[in-house]
């Protein structure tokens, strides 16, 4: 008897479920029921095809997704699910390595290092090599090693084309020593789990043959998010039977910064001949106007599979698009709109506020607090609870109150200064014995503390004293903060880390400076002490874990897989969304567009989009033009057309004719940047990029304004249009 629940599937979903043999590519548009298809496919294989549950392996990315998939399978076939492998990539590989420990030169009971243990070992190695911990930050090195493993790059291959680069050569040596130490400790890290499994399969054919016989049917969810090593694992698991089904949406590929490669899903039909492809285009989540907007937006991408998503629901409300003068005005107006809607909805959980970067949350947090509306930040911390902000607050607390030992001890090695734990214990004991502050003790030569270390202590003491003197002289709080960032090397530290995380931290610091300047402008006699007192009142609020009804705030990257009745998509300005660091290559613009597509398709009932005419960076007012993505949404889908003036919208890479200010700025920029020929750039040259640092030109293509360069930055490559990219040739 055929599995009865197939009747509840639409025609395309049924095709995807019934095609069980050979390679299958399911292109599942947003809200099209992909999890339903995967779970029904498993049920169909077991009930209708008579396949043993032990012969089925389904992989996804998160424990939550795996648990949900397993729960749904159990509900469909409660008596037949036992034995199915429904796991994350990492949990599957951990199981495989534990079963084959001897083959991969591990002893039974090996340890899996988490991030903290990984960084602790790397820190030990860096110190042993006599390297500067500031330059070779353990967290940054750990990230580089993880990315290398995701790209299947072993220590001897790391930076092989840049051997003369001092930094990368030392990273390679750290990587090599790190692997040696882990082997001695009988340990692996998260990056090893998949890499060692792939190497196990490649180097020991009988092992992969055994698992190919066991798992005759492979299913992989969110295939667009796979990286190189996961792609290799996928091909090996497919084996000779090639009964592999991948489900994903290239239009929702938004994690290239984590190593995800959109080519994996785009090239699946090339990798597996005779692929059966089915498109799930009917959206069951959102009203039609929302889906039409998303569909028209994403069609502007060239790197995608052709799809035409549509909604089974009625049109619903049109999209509200509003231009505000400032970010403050934008935040306050959105909170008022939420209050108005709440009167009917009676639940805050139906509302979400999206923003492109974490730093943007501050305005909404302030507006929500002032309106006494509960909120939670999904996948992150409240603004004043973020590490870099708490560090700055600790610095300022010492400046206002030099006797605040707790705050000083928090930041005494942030950024790293080489004042070790043993030294700090001696300083604390000395301060206690003399009844003085730890800060004052830094200025005294304490027995058993080396002269070199005392020099660092005294240097820090003098820096604090200069800032304390500024405070006593009643300098503006913002001036003190800016001096603090420079004097203590905070800005330089995060800039030198040159990572997405450090870039995010710099944006938060920038937002803190803006916040304190705004405080000055709205206060008759601003003081650092008063401002810190205000922050304490904000951060001592009730624990958000106790909340059950709240407005959700999150970055768009964190929104994937979620849905809300009312979505507020904010900060839709050039430089914000698309982000300024993603505007120099077409591939990065396309990923930003996919990110916008994801944001729009989270809305079920109503979508609000907003942008500001002016934003503030380090307190300075900057003019903003609306995001290019807004012009890609049909005019008739907005409530009253576009409320922003048409001439302020920009196309892909240059402003509209008639927008004189932008044209002049762009013309000046063009004149200041020469072509590759004029700069005498060629493949193999080293160049410096303002955001990505030093890299090596791997490829030059195109001509004129379309002249492109592809640059290798260690383990990753970036492409840029040269006419809009400032590069400095490095000898």
**Which residues are catalytically annotated?**
34-35, 221-222, 252, 602
Compute how many other C-beta atoms are within 10 angstroms of the C-beta atom of residue 310: 14
* CB-count burial class (<10 Å; 0-12, 13-18, 19+) for 684: exposed
Among 283, 362, 259, residue whose Cα is nearest residue 600:
283
* Start-to-end CA span in the chain (Å): 73
**Rounded CA gap, 122 and 348, in Å?**
44
CB 249, CB 27: distance < 8 Å: yes
Q: Is 278 helix (H, G, I), strand (E, B) or coil?
A: strand
660's CB contacts (< 8 A; 6+ apart) are none
* Cα Rg, the chain, nearest whole Å: 28
**Rounded CA gap, 282 and 9, in Å?**
11
The CA distances from residue 19 to 4, 320, 623, 680, in Å, are 17, 42, 54, 55
In degrees, to the nearest 5, what angle opens at C-alpha 580 toward C-alphas 577 and 581? 115
Extract the tokens encoding 495.
């800039």
38's CB contacts (< 8 A; 6+ apart) are 58, 69, 219, 221, 247
**Rounded CA gap, 175 and 668, in Å?**
44
396's CB contacts (< 8 A; 6+ apart) are 480, 481, 484, 528, 532
The CA distances from residue 603 to 133, 284, 555, in Å, are 45, 12, 15
Extract the tokens encoding 601.
């398709």
Q: What is the dihedral of CA 341, 347, 352, 358, to 10 degrees?
A: 120
Q: What is the DSSP letter of 286?
A: S
| CA atoms within 13 Å, Cβ hemisphere of 18 | 13
In degrees, to the nearest 5, what angle opens at C-alpha 460 toward C-alphas 455 and 461? 95
């Amino acid at each position: 008897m055929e599995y009865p629940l197939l009747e509840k599937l639409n025609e395309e979903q049924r095709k995807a479920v019934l095609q069980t043999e050979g390679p299958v590519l399911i292109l599942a548009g947003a809200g099209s029921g992909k999890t339903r298809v995967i779970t029904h496919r498993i049920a169909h294989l077991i009930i209708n095809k008579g396949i043993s549950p032990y012969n089925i392996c389904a992989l996804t990315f998160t424990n939550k997704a795996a648990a949900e998939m397993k729960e749904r399978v159990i509900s469909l076939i409660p008596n037949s699910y036992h034995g199915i492998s429904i796991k994350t990539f990492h949990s599957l590989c951990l199981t495989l390595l534990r079963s084959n420990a001897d083959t991969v030169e591990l002893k039974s009971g090996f340890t899996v290092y988490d991030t903290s243990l990984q960084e602790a070992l790397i820190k030990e190695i860096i110190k042993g090599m006599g390297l500067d911990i500031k330059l070779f930050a353990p967290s940054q090195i750990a990230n580089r090693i993880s990315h290398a493993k995701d790209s299947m790059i072993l220590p001897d291959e790391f930076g092989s084309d840049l051997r003369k680069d001092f930094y990368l050569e030392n990273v390679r040596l750290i990587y090599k020593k790190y692997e040696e130490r882990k082997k001695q400790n009988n340990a692996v890290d998260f990056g090893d789990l998949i890499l060692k499994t792939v190497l196990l399969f490649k180097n020991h054919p009988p092992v992969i043959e055994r698992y190919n016989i066991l798992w005759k049917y492979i299913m992989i969810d969110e295939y667009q998010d796979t990286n190189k090593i996961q792609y290799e694992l996928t091909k090996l698991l497919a084996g000779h039977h090639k009964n592999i089904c991948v489900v994903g949406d290239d239009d929702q590929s938004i994690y290239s910064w984590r190593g995800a490669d959109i080519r994996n899903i785009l090239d699946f039909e090339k990798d597996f001949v005779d692929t059966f492809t089915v498109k799930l285009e009917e959206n069951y989540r959102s009203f039609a106007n929302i889906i039409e907007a998303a569909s028209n937006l994403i069609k502007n991408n060239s790197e995608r599979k052709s799809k035409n998503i549509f909604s089974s629901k009625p049109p619903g409300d049109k999209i509200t698009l509003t231009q505000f003068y400032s970010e403050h005005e934008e935040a306050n107006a959105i909170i008022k709109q939420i209050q108005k809607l709440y009167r009917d909805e009676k639940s805050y959980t139906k509302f979400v506020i999206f923003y492109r970067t974490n730093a943007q949350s501050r305005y909404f947090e302030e507006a929500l607090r002032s309106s006494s509306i509960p909120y939670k930040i999904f996948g992150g911390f409240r603004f004043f609870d973020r590490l870099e902000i708490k560090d700055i607050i600790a610095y300022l607390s010492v400046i206002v109150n030099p006797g605040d030992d707790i705050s000083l001890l928090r930041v005494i090695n942030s950024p790293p200064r080489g004042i070790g734990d043993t030294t700090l214990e001696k300083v604390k004991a000395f301060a206690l014995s003399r009844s003085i502050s730890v800060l004052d003790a830094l200025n005294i030569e304490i027995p058993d503390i080396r002269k070199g270390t005392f020099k660092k202590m005294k240097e820090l003491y003098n820096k604090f004293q200069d800032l304390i003197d500024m405070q006593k002289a009643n300098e503006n709080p913002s001036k003190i903060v800016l001096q603090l960032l420079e004097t203590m090397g905070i800005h330089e530290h995060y800039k030198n880390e040159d990572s997405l995380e450090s870039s995010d931290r710099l944006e938060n610091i920038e937002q803190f400076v803006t916040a304190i300047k705004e405080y000055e402008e709205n206060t008759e006699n601003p003081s650092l002490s008063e401002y810190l007192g205000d922050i304490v009142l904000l951060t001592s609020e009730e624990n958000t874990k106790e909340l059950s009804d709240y407005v959700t705030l999150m970055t768009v990257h964190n929104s994937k897989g979620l849905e809300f009745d009312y979505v507020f998509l904010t900060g839709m300005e050039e430089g914000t969304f698309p982000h300024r660091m993603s505007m120099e290559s077409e591939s990065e613009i396309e990923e930003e567009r996919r990110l916008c597509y994801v944001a729009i398709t989270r809305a079920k009932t109503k979508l609000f989009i907003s942008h500001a005419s002016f934003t503030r960076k380090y307190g300075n007012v900057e003019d903003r033009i609306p995001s290019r993505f807004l012009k890609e949404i049909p005019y008739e889908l907005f409530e009253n057309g576009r409320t922003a003036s048409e001439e302020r919208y920009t196309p892909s890479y240059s402003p509209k004719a008639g927008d004189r200010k932008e044209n002049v700025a762009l013309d000046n920029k063009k004149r200041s940047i020469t072509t590759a020929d004029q700069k005498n750039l060629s493949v193999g040259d080293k160049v410096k990029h303002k955001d990505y640092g030093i890299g090596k030109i791997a490829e030059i293509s195109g001509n004129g304004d379309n002249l492109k360069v592809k640059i290798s930055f260690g383990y990753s490559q970036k492409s840029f249009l040269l006419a809009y990219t400032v590069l400095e040739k490095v000898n």
